[in-house]
Amino acid sequence: MWERINRWARNLVNDGFTLWFCCQHPQMPLVPKILAVLVVGYFLSPIDLIPDFIPVLGYLDELILLPGCIYLILKMVPEPVLAECRAKAKAWLAEHKPTPRSITAAVVIMLLWMTFFGTLWTHWGDELLKWLATH
């Protein structure tokens, strides 16, 4: 069982890097390219949209959402582009090059969280302050 899980994880990393190379390929169609840029940005982001410390939901993105999105986008990539990008990803990983990071995606995720909490505060901040003052 652990062998299957390890193989699945290696394939996921390989597919993530394949998508990264697909984003840079000149023959990549526009719609899959836009989707791939979004998923690769999240894949390479050092910050998760759903933090891992949240029980169950924290690993939902890594175990279901991310692999599902990668799989669906790879199905939209033309076969010649996919084959070339898979070879580049395999070579990249074989050379043990450092994993690139997407600081832009990390900033976007932080802005989404700040917007979320700002919206919560706008709607319920006064009630929370009143409740805290009475207790």
Q: Residue 127 is which amino acid?
A: E
Domain boundaries, the chain: 2-102
Dist CA 124 CA 5 (whole Å): 43
Looking at residue 17, the DSSP 8-state letter turns out to be H
Quote the pLDDT of residue 102: 64
Quote the pLDDT of residue 6: 67
Nearest CA to 89 out of 9, 8, 16 is that of 16
pLDDT tens, position by position, 28-59: 999 998 888 888 877 777 677 677 777 777 77
DSSP 3-state helix, strand, coil percentages of the chain (rounded to 5)? 80, 0, 20
pLDDT tens, position by position, 102-132: 677 667 777 777 888 888 888 888 887 888 8
Dist CA 104 CA 86 (whole Å): 24
| Alpha-helical segments (H) within the chain | 2-24, 30-44, 60, 66-76, 79-94, 103-134
- Indicate whether this model's pTM tops 0.75: no
